[in-house]
Amino acid sequence: MLLKKNKQTNRAELKINGVKYHLDIIEGSTGEKALDIRQLRSDTGLITLDPGYKNTGSCCSSITYLDGEKGILNYRGYAIEELAEKCSFVEVAYLLLHGELPNLEQLNRFRHLLRRYALIHEDMIHFFDHFPPNATPMSILSSMVNVLCNYYPEMSDDPLENIDSTAARLISKIRTIAAFSYKKSIGHPLVYPRYDLDYCGNFLNMMFDRPVIPYEVKPEIVATLNKLLILQADHEQNCSTSAVRLVGSAGVNLYAAISAGINALWGPLHGGANQAVIDMLEAIYKDGNDFKKYIEKAKDPDDPFRLSGFGHRVYKTYDPRAKIIKKACDETLAILNISDPLLDIAKQLEEVALNDDYFKKRKLYPNVDFYSGIIYRAIGIPTNMFTVMFALGRLPGWIAQWKEMWEDPETKIGRPRQIYAGPTKRELIPLHER
């Protein structure tokens, strides 16, 4: 059910050139308030200017709530800490899509759909052969997801009619596409999905099983991967989610909208941030572990260097997901009996930053990307697959956001305004006179 917009009796007053205008104040279920400016241009002739949409709400949503000042993140009302500790990724995917956690019967049905749709059309496997050898996994993923609409066109007439099957198909097949793209990149034979393995176990087996060295699916690593994907499953109206909604608002099929989200996530300022953290930690390691040097570089206003994995557009305190991932990182490396020097550097950076006035005043705390890359490294996932892993986790949230947009009767095609700052009317000089 969509968030019900509650118009308050009190209204904001806007005065322009002596004329008073009244704007409704809308309050969400958690007390967050917004000015309703939908009639602003028609009433006043003015628009708002908000680069990056830092103060603009694009929709009302009942999927994810976060409070950046208090470090709160909830999916459908459930605290992220509880979901990560007590649920599987498949349960959370169902929750995001349907608004409620599944009972056993609903969960088994959803699992069956995920297993049923795990294979990709055999013709699509040949596509991998035609990508350049150095093709990035994200470009392959976005292309292959976009192509899915040609093989499964049943959404054309009524996008919501078979949404359960379509969502399960996407969530299941994207995992297979990701694993196949990795296998192709290293020249290994493809490993097909198995019906007896669960979602995360299946992915790990497709990634790392080899004819000469069978892969052992460890329950502890499966649990860690479940946790990572849960933490990345949705995060309100971020860049990639907004891309899915914006492209989806044009009436395109779900696959095209998800492909747009994948491309947005690809950016180093968004889903590529955990790869940047690993690159930074490796640079510090190669520089003799002199992490204090990099702390000073980050504080130098004349130095363009910034600490990757610190700070967040919304969180102004410790990212609640980072706390969970930090604990999972220690546990995973202990289970695998791995001592990663990058983890030691990360902890030293964190300790210094959390006690340094420069970082505290600027509210630069570790975010979700700071430790996730270290876990992926320990599991065996290469750096160029980190953003793909993010896409796997974020997919249920994208689908849920797209579904909510389609169900909302107030949805309109996205069309931001602008303030034109170019030349005014100019006289055209014929070509032979220029």
Whether residue 82 is contained in a domain is answered as no
| 53 plus 202 within the same structural domain | no
pLDDT of residue 155: 65
| 40 plus 160 within the same structural domain | no
pLDDT of residue 353: 81
Q: What amino acid positions are annotated as catalytic residues? A: 312, 369
Whether residue 179 is contained in a domain is answered as yes
| 51 plus 101 within the same structural domain | no
Dihedral angle computed from the Cα positions of residues 420, 415, 51 and 246, in that order, rounded to the nearest 10 degrees:
-150
pLDDT of residue 152: 86
Question: CA–CA separation, 200 vs 111, rounded Å?
Answer: 12
| 268 plus 226 within the same structural domain | yes
Whether residue 372 is contained in a domain is answered as yes
CATH of residue 47's domain is 2.20.28.60
Whether residue 130 is contained in a domain is answered as yes
pLDDT of residue 157: 65
Whether residue 422 is contained in a domain is answered as no
pLDDT of residue 354: 82
| 389 plus 320 within the same structural domain | yes
Q: What is the mean pLDDT of each run of 10 residues along the chain (434 residues)?
A: 48 92 91 91 93 91 93 96 97 97 97 96 92 90 94 75 88 96 92 96 97 94 96 95 96 94 91 86 90 90 89 82 90 89 88 86 84 90 93 97 94 93 94 94
pTM: 0.91
The residue range of the domain holding 329 is: 88-410
| 232 plus 313 within the same structural domain | yes
pLDDT of residue 238: 93
Number of separate domains in the chain: 2
CATH of residue 323's domain is 1.10.580.10
pLDDT of residue 246: 96
| 95 plus 16 within the same structural domain | no
pLDDT of residue 41: 93
CA of 88: how far to CAs of 3, 82, 122, 133, 391, in Å?
26, 11, 29, 35, 17
| 332 plus 386 within the same structural domain | yes
